[in-house]
Amino acid sequence: MSELRGRLFVGGALAPGRVEFANGRITSIDLELGARDANELPIVAPGFVDLHIHGFGGSDPLDDLAGMATALARVGTTAFQPTLFPSEPSRLGAACEHVWSAATELGRAPTARVVGLHLEGPFVNPLRAGALPPGDLATPSKEGLRAILGPATGSGRGVKTMTLACELQGANELVAELVRSNVRVSLGHSQATAAEARAAARAGASGATHLFNAMGPIHHREIGLAGFALAKTALFAEIIGDLVHVGADAFELALAARGPEGLCLVSDALQGAGTGCERFESHGREHVVHSGTAYYPAAKSGGAEQLAGSAMSQHAMVQRLVERGVVSIEDALTMASASPARALGLERELGALGPGLRADFVVLDARTLALCDVWVGGERVAR
C-alpha cells in the first residue's frame, strides 16, 4: 500500500488529505479538514487527459508512439488520444492500424496510456482547413469511412474520436454510422450553422474540436457552431490553453458560458512540443515556435506566419492560465482531467480521485504549480 498526502483535488475542490493506492488503483481517500497550514501542502490531482495531441517530446504517433507516451507522462499527461492528420481514407486506415498496434504493445513502464485515436479529418470543410493540408481532405462517404475504420468485427483500429464538418453533403449519414461504430463525433474544421450543429448533435455528435479555431465566427443573427457549443450542453468543447489560439477574453467567455465541466483543455501539441526547440519539422513542414505556440513560417518575405498547433503541454497551459488570472486552479484542473474523461465516457476510470479509479496523479507545488511528481498506474514516473 502506498500513499500521497497534500491538498487533494476531489469533487472540484482542494482539501487536505491522504490518498492510498495499491495494484494500480486508488483504495481510499481520507480528507483532513481543518489541517493546519493546508495551503502550503502540495496539490495532488488526477493525471491529465489530452483529447487532441499530434506529438510531443520530438516524437509523433506514426514514428514513435512509445517515445511520445513516455515524454507525456513526464509532464503530467497520463492518458491521451494520439491525433492523426487527414490523408486518403485507405492510407489513413493503414496508419490507424499501425498506431493502434503500437499502442497495444506499450510496455509496463509508467507511460501515458492511449485511450483511443483521434482523427482530425479527412471529412472536414476545405474552407476551414486551417493548418490541415487541404489536398488530404476527402468528401464524406460511407465507403471512405469504412476504409478508415476497417472491418466491423474484432478490436478494430482503435478510433475513438473523429472530427468532421457536419454541413458537408453526406456528413450527417456518417455521424449516425460513427455513433453505431462507437466512435465519438466531434464537430470541427467547419462553418456549420447553429441549426446544422444542432442536427448533428441530435444524430449523436458530442464534441466540438478546438473551440473558436477553424470554425465560423459568432454573429448575433447566426451564432454558428461556436455559438451552439457555448449556448448548449450537447457538445463537450475542446479548448486550447496557450492564450494565443484563444485569447483570454474569449477563454473567459467560454468558461462563463459552459463552466469547466463543459470544456476540455487540449494541447493540440505537435512533435516539437516539450523539446525547447524554436524550429522543428512536422509532417513535412517547418514550424517556428513563439511563446509556446507553433506557426508555419511566412510563405514569402514580409508575409505573415500561419498559426498551426501548440508547443505546450497541458501542464504548461494550466500554469499559464492560472498565472495570468484567466481561470482558477480548480477550474484548470477540472478542464484538464475530469471533463475530458467524461467526454470519453471514462469518468469511472480516469480524471478523478476516488476509490477504484486508476492511481494516476500529478503533484504540483502549492505556490508555483510546478510539476513535482507524476504517478501512472501507481508507479512513480522517472523525471
Band (210; pLDDT cuts 50, 70, 90): very high
Q: CA angle at residue 292 from 187 to 6, to 5 degrees?
A: 90
Whether the predicted pLDDT of 153 surpasses 60: no
Would you state the cell numbers that stand for residue 117, as one nine-digit string?
Answer: 485515436
At 314-357, the pLDDT tens digits run 999 999 999 999 999 999 999 999 999 999 999 999 999 999 99
At 109-124, the pLDDT tens digits run 789 999 999 999 999 9
At 348-381, the pLDDT tens digits run 999 999 999 999 999 999 999 999 999 999 999 9
pLDDT value at residue 238: 98
Residue 144's φ and ψ, nearest 5 degrees, are -65, -40
End-to-end C-alpha distance for the chain, whole angstroms: 22
All structural domains of the chain: 47-345 (3.20.20.140)
Contact 254, 239 (CB under 8 A): yes
**CB-hemisphere CA count at 13 Å for 347?**
10
Catalytic residue among 268, 331, 360, 373: 268
Whether the predicted pLDDT of 52 surpasses 80: yes
Whether the predicted pLDDT of 155 surpasses 80: no
Q: CA angle at residue 166 from 165 to 169, to 5 degrees?
A: 100
pTM equals 0.96
Mean pLDDT of the chain: 94
Active site residue 331: no
CA torsion 65-71-75-80 (nearest 10°) is 0
Band (283; pLDDT cuts 50, 70, 90): confident
Would you state the cell numbers that stand for residue 308, as one nine-digit string?
Answer: 498551426
d(CA 54, CA 187): 18
Nearest to 329 by CA among 370, 293, 268, 378: 370
Q: CA angle at residue 204 from 264 to 50, to 5 degrees?
A: 20
Whether the predicted pLDDT of 54 surpasses 80: yes
pLDDT value at residue 188: 98
